Structure 1
Amino acid sequence: MALAKLGVVVLDCPDPGALAGFYAEVLGGTVQGEGDWVDLDVPGGQPLAFQAAPGHVPPKWPAPDDSQQFHLDLTVDDLDAAEKGVLALGAKPLDAEDRSRSWRVYTDPAGHPFCLCAC
């Protein structure tokens, strides 16, 4: 028997509203709140929250000496179309050159790594 149920995944960032808006464009959903804590209700998915962290330092990837902390895997039907969309929204490619793989690595506008993964 589980002791708990996952409620929300929270990302620290310098601007919660802006980062929630980025993920709302990528995943869909409704942004709720403002200020230091903003929620994103994702239709049919796990909710995300964004918390202000004034001293936020983005994780490094790849960095054998540092932890990437965590990353999100986002499943997509068309890698090329999804890539075009996330780049237009402000994502930065980290390891997207290898077109033979079924996944590509980016950072969101606050520097958190995420992967687009073909389903």
Structure 2
Amino acid sequence: MTVSSSLPAAVGSVASYAFWGPDGRALADFYAAALGWRVAEEFPGEDGTPTAFLVTDGSTRFVFYTARNFTAPSWPEEELPFHLDLAFDDVPAAEERLLGLGATKPAHQPGGEYWTVLLDPSGQPFCISGGWSADS
């Protein structure tokens, strides 16, 4: 199916990736430490209390929000609409470090030798691996 339009094609880019959890600052601190990035900025909520926290390496940005009614997904029973895949040169060392930062490792590991599933401090799954080859 071809869709035609008289409007010019929109060109966009991703400004940031946003995540919610019970404590946005704790998630920001976790992912900043996990990736070797930094928490660069905080944004206040309606009451003036910081509720959103920007983590960056200077080119990619994640924003972690505090959500009052956040509930972690019941994975693997529930399918995930989105999750992170993080790549590390030394996956076993990264796993050990991430577990030390507060991640947990669920019993269900569907990735076999290709990736490992961990849960961040809010209970949301993310994967770690050696990355993808250029042919993937």
Instruction: Decide: shared fold, TM above 0.5.
Output: yes
**Residue 52 (1) aligns with residue 66 (2):** yes
Letter in 1 for 2:56: D
Give SS of 1:40's match: strand
Partner of 2:129: 117
Letter in 1 for 2:69: G
TM-score with structure 1 length normalisation? 0.86
Q: Among residues 115, 120, 135, which one is paired with 1:103 in the alignment?
A: 115
Letter in 1 for 2:21: C
Letter in 2 for 1:33: E
Q: Among residues 96, 99, 108, which one is paired with 1:84 in the alignment?
A: 96
User: Over aligned residues, Cα RMSD in angstroms?
Assistant: 2.1
C-alpha change, 1:4 and 1:109, in structure 2 (3 Å) is same
Q: Which runs of 5+ in 2 are unaligned?
A: 1-8, 44-49, 132-136
> Any runs of at least 4 consecutive aligned residues in structure 1 with deviations exceeding 3 A, and if so which?
95-100
Give SS of 2:55's match: strand
Query: Structure 1 vs Structure 2: percent identity of aligned residues?
Result: 34
Larger Rg computed on CA atoms: 2
TM-score with structure 2 length normalisation? 0.76
